[in-house]
Structure 1
Amino acid sequence: MNKFKFLFGVLILIFNQSSVGRNKSFQYPFEKDSLILIEKVYLHVDRENYLAGDDIWFKAYLIDALDHLLTDHSNNLHVELISPSSKIISSRIIRLEGGLGNGDFKLPADIKSGRYRLRAYTNYMRNFSDQLFFSKEITIINANDNGQNEIPDKVKYVENKIIINFFPEGGSLVDNVPSVVAFKAVNNLGMGCDVSGKIYSSDGDLITTFKSTHLGMGIFSLRPSSGLKYYSIIRGADSIDIKTELPTSLRKGVTLSAAIIKDNDLLITTKTNSETLALISEQDMFLSLSIRKEVINTILLRIESPDTSFVVPSGYLPEGIMMLTLSTREGLPLSERLIYLEREAPLKMLIGTDKHLYKKREQVNLKISLSGDSTIDRVGNVSLAVVDETFTNTTSQFPRTISSWFLLESDIRGSVEEPSYYFDPSNPDRVKNMDLLLLTQGWRDFAWKYDTILFPAENGFSVSGRLRNFYKDKPIEGSRISVGIFGSTSSFFTTLPVDSTGRFNLSGVDLTGDAILIVSGIDKKDRMKGLLILDSVDYNPAKVSDSLSLVSVITENKNSKLKSYYIINEEILKKYKLSDTIRIGEVKIISERQKDFQTEKVEKSRLKYGTPEGELIITEQVESYRSLPELISGRIPGVEVLGKYPDFKIRIRGAFSLLGPKGKESGILPLILVDGNPVAYEEINRIPVNFIERIDVLKSVGATSVFGMAAYSGVINLITRTGVSSEIKTPVEYSTNIRFSGYNAPRIFYSPQHLQNSNSDINPDLRSTIYWEPNINLEGTNEVILNYYNGDNSSIIRIIAEGITASGIPVTGKAEYEVR
């Protein structure tokens, strides 16, 4: 569906007590409605409860909020693990490709028990504050906390106080205008609670009664009279009456109501009193229809009677929450109403196993597919988790799903109780109760905060800064910047221009893992020069402003069960002398002394050739040399340096068994490597001597042949020093060498195969997440078959798959079986 072309058809007028006057069809008073791109992200996490030392596995889905299609608007997703004290204790930058990505966290063995949060967002989302961020609470148990548990063993006493709030439909009560008033009653934990009560006027007259119908929510009708105020009386749990004032009625105003009628069309009704009608009957009004703050269309109308109704066809509108706003020509909002447009689920995800009862370590054959409307393109990407029931959310009958988040929770204020209730067709009152929810909790107002984009979409990583004259704050004429990024598997070298102020910027750097970043300022004579001021390469995360919910989703019994599970597992691991990594059946690890980073770098740089034929260690005594060729001259046997700076030519004697084409300069120049990766020859002049830890030289055909014909004149490998830090503290003279981090490479979930006579049968299999597969592509009616083995625990095993189709339909599938 093209998000810029929503056709509404013709506005059908329904004559009730009056007509809509001259409003015969849709009109477009504005040249262009707002269509700001809004991103939403959802994390499918393998489970809700974890033990210290466990792994957290997650899959990310990034969509355009308007049409729910996966988007590549941003490629960088920031995922953070936040402690109960609201501190970021671990973070990941996940590569998103086509809106999809996956990653993991390894929990420390000494992490404290408590309620933690996973938070996910793109840099672009920060333009809308943090209200679009994805947040999920998880529980971590460590039985070895020695009394420092942040989850109490005993449930603390909480006063059972009831708070009730009232919400007139459309926003306000208006004198002498019949209105629907919604209400919501919650306890001190913020959970909905059933109530009943009475409405009285300020004269003491009983006006009506009310009673909640779903999670403390309900509605009643009220026609407020001029000059009177209204209040409610409910009976609390302590048998004390609770009095609450209703919103004050306005003397002038317009109310707006909406309802879903036949064919899912919208019946819009405006109501006003005679005093207001006399003022607005000749004035143009605008009714804007928006999806997630993006105005889809604006209707021009006139209100010429106290009660006006008309129908808006909704066949071309997407599923989800729609906001209706009635405003004056000057843009003054008069009334607002949220309504949910539901489409019958065209697709369902089917999950089935070959059995319902399995033995321990028995193989499971699982099938997954999409079924439903054959006219819908049944293509999608889903992730699947198979988890011991002990570690799943069993306290909520209708927990959050990808559908409830994208279609509901991310669009309204506050936490939603039992969010997937509203998307389960087995609940006959779910549509009516959804309307109650929208009337009481309201729109999540994530209006654009800034006049300009302060937080652009990230597509890779960037290196930026400024180069200036060392002695005065002016740019260097004819200068440029040399940038080298040296990773474990690849290297990148380039030169950048600087602008009139000396600023430079390199964006879109595609890097996975850690690397060394070398940035140097170069003048027009190709000499390193100037004062380099590099911007920070560390991402500055969004402020942690939201807090944990008041309600702990883990009960005392659940807490005790998880602790017991932890203690038993630890005893088994000690008995078999296994590290916590063996819990998921990985290979046995032989303990060895950990190597320092520089030693590991040298070994990785020499993987292709082993021991060099010549080597020069760079010491403090020679770091003052202006260039590497000057340093090399006369210090490595068989290596000759000719010419003057910056036009040095290096020859390696004994490296001419294979000659290049006659007369070609490349026939006498060696291949230059940085950390084992080829770079242009001229870059040897642009790397400061003090950034190099050692220089390897390869001369013979046997040593250089692994690099092909490019190395027939020998090889020089420059092995850099490990960057001390990624933090930029002060300006540096012409060059800097720091650590540079890119995307976090996701680990692959290990699923052991318990075959007969296999070594894996010797050790206990204590997996809590039995199986995790983040990327499953579904197409048509084709079944995808997955195989895995159960562990050693007798338990109910839950299977949860979530994903989204190519047409933007979020899908969820569930199944379970038992292991004895």
Structure 2
Amino acid sequence: MKNKPTALLFLLLLQSLYLSAQPAVQLRAQAPAPFLPKLYLHIDREIYFPGDSIWFSAYYLNGQNLAPLTGLGKLYTDLIAPDGTVISHKVWALRNGKGKGKIELPSDLNNGHYMLRSTCGALFHLGEEFCTYRPLEISTLTFNREKTTVREKNTQIALDLLPEGGHLLAGIENLIAIKALTEDGLGVKVRGRIVDGNGKEVATFHSSYKGLGHFHFVPEAGETYRIEVDGFPGLHVAMPAIETQKLKLFMVSEGPEDLLLRVQTVAPLQNQKLHFAILHRGNILFHQSFQLKSPSVDLRIEKAALSAGIHRFLILDEFFRPLSERLYFNKDLDINEIEINTDRTTYSCRKPVELSLTDPEGKQSGFSRLSLSVVNKNAMTEAGPGENILTALLLGTELKGYLEGPADFFNDEAGLTSSEKLDLLMLTQGWRSYRWADPDVINDTIQNRDNGICLTGQLQNPLTKWSVPNISINAKIFNNIHYIELNGISDEEGRFMFSHLDICDTASVLINTFTRKRRKNVLISLDPLFPETISVSRAYHPGKSFDAAKHIALRQQQYFNEKELTDYLLATGSLYIDEVQIVKKAPSDDGPYGTLNGSILSLKVTEKDHKYPSLLTYLQGRVSGLQVYGDMIVIRDKSGLNYTTPLFLLDETRILDHNAVIYIPMSDIDKVEVSMDPRDFAISGADATGGIIAVYTKKGASLGPSDYIPGLASKIIAGYSTCGEFYSPRYTPNNLDNPQPDHRLTLYWDPDLLTEKGKAEASFFSSDDAGNYLIQVEGITGTGKICLGTAAFKVYNLPKEQ
């Protein structure tokens, strides 16, 4: 990222009064919160089939310098269907600016354009405007006799006219941008005209790229105009109001070295004090106050002083209220280009592929954090990746609404340069991260929302429902991965919070309260761990129109691949099932006092047993040789001479600290099993030689209002989602001729590739599918420089020994 000093910015006001530049401190006091994080998801490919997995790597970055954020955060992902339904909602961990995950696609999905939406804890409460979006295409194999959905000529459209600078001034030439979209939010070609009150054509317009275009028009004060669009005779398009008392800021010209902007009014504003400012990613690069003494003032800006990406040129009044703005995209991109080399350019099937990566920036800064995907080119859109980390961070996270093919805006075409495309986007797409008012709200949102998992709740008197302040609280959180014990005190409203928790998968929570007089007559209420998903509006809705014929080659390939796999399974007598993830094994129902093999004492907890204050008091007298001393428990061994400390299992999971178990409310326990033989539970280890006490909770149990126990609360919570490692087979001479088909569309995926001293390596094997394969590397350096790299290779259907 280039650091552009403000002193390099040369501002020339072409009027007799010389105005010196002022520091940005004064304006910053009135500006929006300077920090909004940015989020980007790199996915393994863009076209999927029902039942596939979406693999992703998440980058959580400082919004100003794009450096990875430190600490713990939350990543929310939503898979959105074409009709706006949220199919999958998950929460993942963001650790030190990085996250990863896998989203399983249901097997019954239909063809269509889907959307993978993501946001973080810091931005969640700001709504869908601050979410990021990745379009996906999901295709099924039912391509025979399938009707292809094609947009009809007279599809309903929406057309907006957007004057440059936000105002249409009377009596001068105005640049007006147009934006024409279908109901699906996709650009559509239009052509039309503006007609005055006498029916005379006074201007014409047409779209030039993705429904975007612009034209010049000189409106007259007091005149009425209507808009006609070819092919849409009944379309109503609002004409912008014609202003006579306002000012506007617009671009006059762009040269190789500088930009010329103009502040224009129809009539002088009586020496009103104004401010000119330049903002970039929330940073105020420049600020200067001046008085407008003539109808127009020109401003010239050196492009060398600007950073890469979107800049916001602003005119504000003396109270720092925005009057007019112009967005500008500076294409002076500073990219860390990752060089990718393969050991060969062509391979046969099931052969090793060796990659070496060279990271120029990593040689200086030490390392870069990357993610790597290798996919069949048929599984990408025809134009290549529709989005990458460059387009997402410089466009998608800055502008409002759904962007159609953002990567296309960086490619030159015949008759239309990339700079011209980007300027059309600046004229038509609203600024997203700009919130001039309420900086305190944003600061509170950023600082207090993204601090890991927060366990919150309230203490109340069970009779009066009044809050109970200043009460000591003990919380235990445990599963087969974690055991966490926390202590705190309720505030004046009886509320408590334990933050910065890093909990994965399902866990049990047990909360105790202790008053000064050791009374526990307190009702504990626990809040939901995560908020509900954000609603989906039309502005961010994926397109519904789906051309079923455009993926015909990929679909045919997938059809024959699945047929080959089915034939193999039938021939070998194998049963093929989808991936199964076992969360926990439910205990068998053995009846009130059943046993597994005669050596286990099984105790079924009934409603009359709920009166016992703890598990220890319940077990005392029921188990021969069991003794309780305070919170300590021992069992006499088989010899009858020694006492040993037993191992506790909770739902067949080892518990390191028995305190996490003994205070579980009896109403949450289904049964307890005790044995001196660890083989009864298929348990080994030195900690199991002293006997085993296995506690089984009720399935899905947690304390409800009717299960009120003074001073106690328990709950089963679902923490961060987790994902396994991407499976990539390794072929050896022993398994090279394995008849089981290998038809991976994604050959390799690594979400956590780290370069060391500018170097990294990766290796994998080609599959049984011949074709062209695309290697994509994306990432960020430790200092916030964007990393990109691509390469390709071919696989031929040659004998495996070649």
Does the TM-score normalized on the shorter chain lie above 0.5? yes
Note if 1:641 corresponds to 2:628.
yes
Instruction: Show the counterpart of 2:734.
Output: 757
Alignment of 1:770 onto 2:737: no
| Among candidates 295, 305, 309, match of residue 320 of structure 1 | 309
Q: Does 1:252 align with 2:241?
A: no
What code does the residue aligned with 2:291 have?
A: R
CA distance in 1, matches of 2:570, 2:436: 52
- TM-aligned CA distance change 1:186 to 1:397, over 3 Å: farther
* Inter-partner Cα distance in structure 2 for 1:601 and 1:817: 57
Summarize deviations over 1:406-432 as a string: whole Å, max 9, x none.
101232233334322333489982123
**1:87 deviation in Å?**
2.5
| Structure 2 gaps, min length 5 | 591-595, 797-802
1:75 alignment partner, SS class: strand
What is the letter of the counterpart of residue 469 of structure 1? N
Look up the match of 1:270: 263
Residue of 469, 472, 481 corresponding to 2:464: 472
- Deviation sequence 1:327-372 (CA, Å, 0-9, x none): 2113443211111123243421222323333212222222322348
Aligned to 1:55: 53
Given candidates 490, 495, 501, the residue that maps to 1:498 is 490
Counterparts of 1:671-690 in structure 2 under 5 Å?
673=648, 675=650, 677=654, 686-690=663-667
Which residue matches 1:748? Answer: 725
Shift of 1:548: 6.9
Q: Where in structure 2 are the equivalents of 1:708-727 lying within 5 Å?
A: 717=693, 719-721=695-697, 724=700
Q: Distance between the aligned counterparts of 1:270 and 1:720, measured in 2?
A: 74
The DSSP-based 3-state class of the residue aligned with 1:408 is helix
Task: Summarize the alignment of residues 39-54 of structure 1 with structure 2, pairs less than 5 Å apart.
Answer: 39-54=37-52
CA contact (8 A) 1:516 1:723 kept: no
Deviation at 1:261, TM superposition (A): 5.4
Q: Which amino acid aligns with 2:171?
A: N
Q: Whole-Å Cα distance in 2 between the matches of residues 52 and 31 of structure 1?
A: 50
1:619 pairs with one of 593, 605, 628: 605
Distance 1:159 1:515, change over 3 A: same
Note the 1:297-696 alignment, pairs <5 A: 297-313=286-302, 315=304, 317-371=306-360, 377=365, 379-394=367-382, 396=383, 399-424=386-411, 429-444=417-432, 447=435, 452=441, 453=444, 456-474=448-466, 479-524=471-516, 526=518, 529-546=521-538, 551=543, 554-577=546-569, 597-599=585-587, 615=601, 617-620=603-606, 622-642=609-629, 647=630, 650-654=633-637, 670=645, 673=648, 675=650, 677=654, 686-692=663-669, 693-694=671-672, 696=674
Give the match for residue 21 of structure 2.
Answer: 25
Question: The residue matched to 1:761 in structure 2 has which SS?
Answer: coil
Distance 1:237 1:31 in 2: 49
Q: 125, 143, 163: which is aligned to 1:168?
A: 163
Is 1:159 matched up with 2:154? yes
Query: Matches of 1:67 and 1:15 in 2, distance apart?
Result: 30
Q: For the structure 1 residues 242 and 486, does the alpha-carbon distance in structure 2 shift closer, same or farther, using more than 3 Å as the test?
A: closer
Q: Compute the displacement of 1:510 (Å).
A: 1.6
**Post-superposition offset of 1:82:** 2.3
Correspondence 1:80 to 2:66: no
Give the whole-Å Cα distance in 2 for the aligned partners of 1:166 and 1:730. Answer: 60
Amino acid at match of 1:733: I
| Compared CA separation, residues 471 and 362, structure 1 to 2 (3 A) | same
| 2:276 counterpart residue number | 287
Deviation at 1:44, TM superposition (A): 1.0
How far apart, in 2, do the equivalents of 1:500 and 1:186 lie?
A: 53
Contact 1:170 1:337 (C-alpha < 8 Å) held by counterparts:
yes
User: Which residue does 1:606 correspond to in 2?
Assistant: none
Quote the offset at 1:102 in angstroms: 0.7
Counterpart residue type for residue 14 of structure 1: L
- Mapped to 1, the partners of 2:156 and 2:659 lie a distance apart of 75
| C-alpha distance 51-778 of structure 1, shift in aligned 2 (>3 A) | same
Partner of residue 67, structure 2: 69
- 1:142–1:624 distance in 2 versus 1, CA, 3 Å: farther
Query: In structure 2, what residue type is equivalent to 1:778?
Result: T
Cα displacement (A) at 1:488: 1.4
**RMSD over aligned Cα, in angstroms?**
4.3
Aligned to 1:607: none
2:402 and 2:540 in contact (8 A); partners too = no
- Distance of aligned partners of 1:169 and 1:157 in 2 relative to their CA distance in 1, 3 Å threshold: closer
Between the aligned partners of 1:88 and 1:398, the Cα distance in structure 2 is 24
Report if aligned partners of 2:13, 2:19 keep a CA contact under 8 Å in 1: no
The aligned amino acid for 2:475 is: V
Change (3 A) 1:347 1:490: closer
Query: CA, structure 1 residues 611+366, in 2 after alignment: closer, same or farther (shift >3 Å)?
Result: farther
Distance 1:704 1:204, change over 3 A: closer
Q: Give, in whole Å, the separation in 1 of the partners of 2:95 and 2:396.
A: 25
Deviation at 1:304, TM superposition (A): 2.0
One-letter code aligned to 2:22: F
- Partner secondary structure for residue 423 of structure 2: helix
Instruction: Name 2:127's counterpart in structure 1.
Output: 129
Q: State the alpha-carbon separation in 2 of the partners of residues 720 and 319 from structure 1.
A: 59
TM-fit CA distance, 1:748 = 0.5
Is the contact made by 1:350 and 1:368 (CA closer than 8 Å) also made in structure 2?
Answer: yes
User: How many aligned positions are there?
Assistant: 774
Contact kept, 8 Å, 2:510 with 2:715, in 1: the verdict is yes
SS, match of residue 107 in structure 2: coil
Residues 522 and 356 (structure 1), Cα distance of their counterparts in 2 relative to 1, 3 Å cut: same
Identity rate, percent: 24
Matched, 1:806 2:779: no
Please tell me whether the aligned partners of residues 469 and 495 of structure 2 are also in contact (alpha carbons under 8 angstroms): no
Distance in 2 (alpha carbons) for counterparts of 1:591 and 1:436: 47
Q: Deviations over 1:431-460 (max 9, x none)?
A: 233112211223236538976446842333
What's the secondary structure of 1:576's corresponding residue?
helix
Q: CA distance change for structure 1 residues 413 and 528 in 2, over 3 Å: closer, same or farther?
A: closer
Q: Residues 730 and 22 from structure 1, CA distance in 2 versus in 1: closer, same or farther, beyond 3 angstroms?
A: farther
Q: Which has the higher contact order (CA 8 A, sep 6+)?
A: 2
Change in CA separation of 1:324 and 1:493 when aligned onto 2, cut-off 3 Å? same
1:188-243 deviation per Cα after TM superposition (whole angstroms, max 9, x unaligned): 66554566666665566665666655445444444444444556666x369x8999
1:104, CA displacement in angstroms? Answer: 0.3
| Partners of 1:67 and 1:318 within 8 A in 2 | no
Q: Does 1:787 align with 2:763?
A: yes
Determine if contact 1:753/1:760 at 8 Å carries over to the other structure: no
For 2:355 and 2:425, locate their aligned partners in 1 and report how far apart those are by CA, in whole Å.
37
How far apart, CA to CA, are the structure 1 residues paired with 2:396 and 2:67?
A: 18
TM-aligned CA deviation for residue 183 of structure 1: 3.4
SS in structure 1 of the partner of residue 744 of structure 2: coil
| Contact preservation (8 Å) 2:460, 2:467 | yes
Secondary structure (helix, strand or coil) at the match of 2:378 reads: helix
Q: 1:461 to 1:595 in 2, by over 3 A?
A: closer
